[in-house]
Amino acid sequence: MGEVVTQFALGFNKSVRIEARQERITSETGALLARDVLETLGVLSFLDKHLEDRRNPTQITHPLREMVATAVLLKVLGWRDQDDADALRDDSAMRLSVSNRRGVGALLTREPSKRDKDNNLKLPDGLASQPTLSRMLGTLSSEGNREVLRDALIAMVGERIRKERRGHRIRHMALDIDSLPIAVEGHQPGSEYNGHYHERVFHPLVASIAETGDIVDAQLRPGNVHTAQGALDFILPLVDKLEQSVCQVASIRMDAGFPEEKLLNGLESRAIPYVARVKNNKRLDTMAAPYLLPPDSSVFTDGADTWVHELTYQAQSWSRPRRVVLVTQRREGELFLHHFWLITNWSAEQLSGEALLQLYRQRGTAESIMGELMDVLDPALSSCSRQKSHYRNAAPLTRYPAGDSFAINEALLLLNLLAYETMHALRLLIQRATHDAWSIKRLRERVLHVGARVLVHARAVTVVLERRAIRYWAPLLRQLQRLLGPVPAS
């Protein structure tokens, strides 16, 4: 490697010199940990086996598996835009993490061997470029490949949970269904101005598990759709998949925007338990009125501030009366009790009003999961349908039809969820190692963005971490090793 040294002086201290050298130095060392998680949980092998790649094999330089790994790892490390891949094309940690070549091959630039040429194999020289990654998104946007991304997400969650539980699935799991606004800049097809959020957004459905902190699926929707639109078709196949690999019984937990006849009836016909909040209306306020005065002064001395009441209610749009639970709460300085309603298809014998309220309150954790997704990953859904007007300062010889940008943006969203799950798996491992609570933002700042020097010796690569990183990396890698190995049948 030729030595090119450039020096810079600092104005405030002339004794300090800044040099730029052609050395294998990286700040993206966390990509190695993230790749190890993807490998341990079998995500890349799953994608390699099931994704459909229609490219001409003789023209392929970057395997689809490696490009998907590039996209996910960039998002894990906080690089939101595909243009960032160009800036990191020669980063040693990224090249090692993305490549499926063994030894030092990922870091070497060389001509293909005769065997490689006979097999029409071209060797990647660094990460895939931005145009190549854009074409990859076009490949992932097919309906079949988007379904593979969804299946990979559930397979990843199920693999981790079963490894943590010695091969067993969770007995009962509550699946939180939410709608999530994702703001956009520009006029991406499908994005619309939403009066509730006062901005132009996509309005996807998102499914998460509060008890484990996982996000297991998402479906992109136009920005102006009703909260519950498409929810039943989203939930039913998802429940089937989760009950195959993650849990034995899944129930549904929703906010007040979801209860409508089609959804409630569809869940009841499949005997899927649910609990949801119901929006207050005049009729419900009239039903609640007799319960809004505190029971008596002695109740306050006992420290109680919440009461539940069993009732039955049928909205005009509902086909039958349903069990509702009135929840009243005492608030300091108010004469009348605050109240809200829950609806469920559990009977009171199966789940009491108090237990139902406790179950519903865990929705707060699900909302914090989505908040963390938006705060740390902040998905950039920016694909827009337009053909190239020029190529290398000239009109293109052939104009190809523009891709389906809405489908591409959904594929982007699913890649962001794979990145979130990778970081969440690392978060759980380091929490177990340090016995401390971690956010994925803190994980990225303290553990993933670590400086290192990459040394190549013959057939071995040594990554020399900065000293402070070892306090986290050593116990984290030990925890990761404990997840290795085959998973017993569930």
Which two structure tokens, joined as six digits, stand for 11?
């104005």
In DSSP terms, which residues pair with 322 in a beta bridge? 313
- pLDDT (tens digit per residue) in 82-130: 778 888 988 999 999 998 887 787 887 655 555 555 555 566 678 888 8
Q: Is 130 within the bounds of a domain?
A: yes
Structurally, how many domains does the chain consist of? 2
Residue 389 in this model has a pLDDT that exceeds 80: no
Last residue of a domain, one of 344, 360, 381: 344
| Terminal alpha carbon distance of the chain | 52
Q: Is residue 309 in a domain?
A: yes
In a shared domain, residues 29 and 100: yes
Residue 488 domain-assigned (yes or no): no
| In a shared domain, residues 29 and 122 | yes
Last residue of a domain, one of 326, 344, 362: 344
Residue recorded with tokens 């405030």: 12
- The mean predicted confidence, pLDDT, of the chain is 88
Q: Is residue 445 part of a domain?
A: yes
Question: pLDDT tens across 213-255, in order?
Answer: 999 999 999 999 999 999 999 999 999 999 999 999 999 999 9
Q: Are strands 199-202 and 205-209 parallel, antiparallel or unpaired?
A: unpaired
Higher pLDDT residue, 13 or 436?
436
pLDDT of residue 490: 44
In a domain, 301, yes or no: yes
Domain stop point among 310, 328, 344 = 344
Q: Please provide residue 341's backbone torsions phi and psi, each rounded to the nearest 5 degrees.
A: -120, 145
CA-based nearest residue to 35, from 448, 436, 336: 448
Amino acid 299: pLDDT: 47
Assign 330 a pLDDT band (cuts: 50, 70, 90): confident
326 in any annotated domain: yes
Whole-model pTM?
Answer: 0.89
Percentage helix, strand, coil for the chain under 3-state DSSP, each rounded to 5? 40, 20, 40
Domain that holds residue 316: 275-344
Is 451 part of any domain?
Answer: yes
| pLDDT mean over 375-384 | 88
Rg (CA), the chain: 26
Is residue 467 domain-resident?
Answer: yes
Does 3 have pLDDT greater than 80?
no
331 and 411 inside one domain: no
Task: Assess whether 120 and 31 both reside in one domain.
Answer: yes
